[in-house]
Structure 1
Amino acid sequence: MNMSPSARRLYIFLMILTLAGAVGLQGWRTLVNNFAVDVVGVDGLEMGIIQSIREVPGFLAFLVVYLLLFITERRLAAFSIAVVGLGVALTGFFPTTWGLVATTLIMSFGFHYFETVNQSLTLQHYDLATAPLVSGRLKGLTSVGNLAVGGAIFLLAEVWDYPMLFAGVGLVVVVAGLGALFVPIADVEARPQRKGMLLRKKYWLYYLLTFFAGARRQIFVAFSVFLMVERLGFTVQEVTALFIFNNVVNWFVSPRIGRAINRFGERAVLSVEYATLIVVFAAYGVVESKMVVAFLYILDHVVFNCSIAIRTYFQKIAEREDIAPSMAVGFTINHVAAVVIPFCAGAVWLLHPSWVFFSGAVLAAVSLGFVQCIRIPKAEDGAA
């Protein structure tokens, strides 16, 4: 990728924060299911409630547009990552259901607000051809962060208890977030952004795709690993080993997704994603083999990389000054269903776990239908 010096400095800044965010979230995900089952003693319904509460900050992502009246997007991104680390660091010291809820909320506010600003900065500062490549590379860097924290937890799980593991991961993330504030980048927007809430009729397909992506993703995030732990008896080491292997695969795959978007277009890439997910969810509802479930988990993450095509589709149809407020609104829309679905799916889980995953297959099929409506207007590439 050819970048100007300012664009390259921004890429370094986003790289640091993306790696830190990956370490925080993946460390939390690696430990939280076993911590919840083994120490806190939660059941499927309680886990669904916790996962629903975890998505409340995403639902409130529209508040980012008001925070940006007082702080630049770059500083908000750095502080958000530090908040992720704080929430993770505190988790192991509050081994109760409400303690898990509180620390999850702290972590989640930081993560969701960072992701909102991260997407906005990428689409604002890189042109239509470069943005998919940057997004793909940052996805690949996420896998690097996931690998690092997965390897550390795998080695330390035998000698550190849960409070030490959570605290170690969290402190690394806090230091990285605060350290990113010192990356020398001028706080200049690519183009002045509209302030306040923004909903436009012409973005209806972006809103719908974002909504259904959030709905089906939450089913997988909330219950795929929980199935492994509760139903199939995966240990912390087995979950960690799966995460490590998954991230090795995605390290190589993620950067190629951006090139696929540029070559084949958003509609083709998203069609592959959702057609594959129909099979993944349907299979998840019936298989009982650890190896098969592990394969399905990796396959889901491979095709999930294709979801950056929703954002690049929006970049191609949007007015440039709409990007920051629309990313905040899009994140909120993505989490409307995410707040409700884990709780409802947790209740369904108590009746029959397979039904939870079959509903994910239905959502993927609906998404596949809407993807066929994508049309990219022919226009000149407005480089940032």
Structure 2
Amino acid sequence: MTQQKRQQAVRLFAAVLALTALANGLGSNIFSNYFNEVFHIDSVQRGFIEIPRESPGILCMVLVAALGFMGNLWMSVVAQALVLVGLIVMGWMSPGYGTMLVFLFIHSLGMHLFMPLNDAISMDLAEKGKVGETLGKFKGVNTLFSMVAAVLVFLGFRTGLFSFEAGTILPFALGAVTTAAAIVLLVMMVRSMPRGEGVKNHKLLFRKRYMPYYMVTLANGCQKRIKIVFAPWVIINLLGQGADTVALLTIVVHLAGTWLAPVIGRMLDRLGVKKMLLLEALYIAVSFSVMGWLAGMLAGGTFGLRDPLTWLVYGAYVLCVLFEQFNMVHSYMMRSIALDPSEVTRTLSVGLSVDHVMAIIASPVMGMIWKAWGVQYVFAAAMLSALLQVAAAAMTEK
């Protein structure tokens, strides 16, 4: 690929990531409020509802192996088409609980299929020696437009323009529009770029050499439950806040992440995977323990909604969710230990499936832990999973 075509592809893919970030921010990022306000679920149900939402992650490795002949870009088109179908049904058709779960699954299948493809395409577009920097820049674009989506959600719900009570759920409908635009840009990329080789071997790929990567994805599956489920549930359930408050916190998270992602990318190129995994583990241990301690006091009635300590809960929430910026370290590690570049996408998809096996197990278990012993033990369990990052770092050369 010529330098000019590479730059054109980088610009197009950055636009794709911007549009998909808007769709995610207007869709999946407010699902917790959607479940709470439309279907009135409790903490145990909130844990179990993650099964249809996260089980597509397990199927991801099968889909990538089966559809690999299409190449990463065409698979991305398929992924976004599935997201589009889910958003159309949930946004315009007011489905009942059972129907919602079906199309939540379809939406989630598309989102999860795109995850390893996103990282693989990003690394393919990177210049030699600048993989971490390129991942950081793309992550920064994603984070910036996730923040824009959060601003729209905040203003929409605060002004009454957005509502879960209307026949058309406007943020989901807008997410469908941006997803359709992303599909158009992906098709443009397919037509403007030389066709890469598809995956010739359609067998699922497991190698002992890739064990450190599988370990960090296993840990990440547990840790993401905090970001996606239980940290927002502290804000929604214990503090009684609505979608506008969650969106405002998300704006702060993404504003910080827009700065942090490129920094982590540059540190990754400079320090290497081993040190960055240890830094990630330390960050998770500190941020999760603080959030768990504060949430436990809040649940126990030590302080209330008007207490100044509430602001510390909001701050701890931001720190907890920011850990996702370290995800690029995992993809970079996989690329650095791959025996062959053609194995990267398939192994990323296997790692995503490992992540989601843990997610499906951890979500209901953590929901029951919350109900039986208290919210602080949910955060403690997620914090302990960071030991897998430490172990993976010990197995990594540099």
TM-score by length of 2: 0.87
Tell me the percent identity: 20
**2:183 maps to 1:177:** yes
Q: Summarize deviations over 1:244-292 as a string: whole Å, max 9, x none.
A: 1211111111111110011111111221111111122222222134322
Q: Per the alignment, do residues 73 and 366 of structure 1 end up closer, same or farther by CA in structure 2, a change over 3 Å counting?
A: closer
Distance 1:362 1:300, change over 3 A: same
Match of 1:379 in 2: none
Q: What secondary structure sits across from 2:385 in the alignment?
A: helix
- Counterpart contact for 1:82–1:176, Cα < 8 Å: no
Would you say 1:186 and 2:193 are equivalent positions?
yes
Q: Which residue of structure 1 aligns with residue 39 of structure 2?
A: 40
Structure-1 residue corresponding to 2:148 = 148
- Residue 95 of structure 1 deviates from its aligned partner by 5.5
Determine if the alignment matches structure 1 residue 167 to structure 2 residue 169.
no
Decide whether aligned partners of structure 1 residues 197 and 13 sit closer, same or farther in structure 2, where only a CA change above 3 A counts: farther
Query: What residue in structure 2 maps to residue 329 of structure 1?
Result: 350
Contact map agreement 1:28 1:88 (CA 8 A) in 2: yes
Aligned AA (1:374): T
How do 1:350-361 residues align onto structure 2 when only pairs under 5 Å count?
350-351=371-372, 352-361=374-383
Task: Figure out how many residues of one structure are paired with residues of the other and give that number.
Answer: 374
Query: Aligned equivalents of 2:217 and 2:68: distance in 1?
Result: 25
In 1, Cα distance between equivalents of 2:381 and 2:237:
20
Does 2:319 correspond to 1:313?
no
Residue of structure 2 in register with 1:298 after alignment: 318
Q: Which stretches in structure 1 are left out of the alignment for 5+ residues?
A: 377-384
Q: Does 1:281 align with 2:288?
A: yes
Q: Once the 2 structures are TM-superposed, how far is the Cα of residue 111 of structure 1 from its aligned partner?
A: 0.8
Residue in structure 1 matched with residue 266 of structure 2 by the alignment: 259
Report the CA distance shift for 1:190/1:127 in structure 2 as closer, same or farther (over 3 A).
Answer: farther
CA–CA distance in structure 1, aligned partners of residues 122 and 246 of structure 2: 32
**Contact 2:123–2:135 (CA under 8 A) maintained in structure 1:** no
Deviation string 1:340-359 (CA, Å, 9 cap, x unpaired) is 11121122222222221110
| CA–CA separation in structure 1 for the residues paired with 2:83 and 2:156 | 21
> CA shift at 1:154, angstroms?
2.0
**Residues 290, 194 of structure 1: alpha-carbon distance in 2 compared, 3 angstrom cutoff:** farther
Deviation at 1:215, TM superposition (A): 2.0
8 A contact 1:17–1:78 mirrored in 2: no
Gaps (5+ residues) in structure 2?
Answer: 299-308
The residue that corresponds to 2:304 in the other structure is none
Q: Write the letter of the residue equivalent to 2:170.
A: M
Deviation of 1:227 after TM superposition, in Å, equals 1.4
Distance 1:236 1:181, change over 3 A: same
Q: Tell me which moved more, 238-247 or 283-292.
A: 283-292
The answer on 1:365 being equivalent to 2:372 is no
Code of the residue aligned with 2:348 in structure 1: it is M
CA contact (8 A) 2:87 2:173 kept: yes
Q: In the alignment, is the contact (CA less than 8 A) between 1:90 and 1:166 conserved in 2?
A: no
Shift of 1:33: 1.9
1:3-58 Cα deviation digits (max 9, x unpaired):
82232233223212222221222222443222211221111111111123211111
Q: Counterparts of 2:128 and 2:337 in 1: how far apart (Å)?
A: 11
Over 3 Å counting, the alpha-carbon distance change for 1:269 and 1:26 in structure 2 is: same
Q: Which residue of 2 aligns with 1:380?
A: none
Aligned partner of 2:103 in structure 1 is: 103
Give the alignment's TM-score, normalised by structure 1.
0.90
Q: Which residue of 2 is the match for residue 382 of structure 1?
A: none
1:316/1:234 Cα in 2 relative to 1: closer, same or farther (>3 Å)?
same
Show the counterpart of 2:122.
122
Q: Report the more deviating stretch, 219-228 or 166-175.
A: 166-175
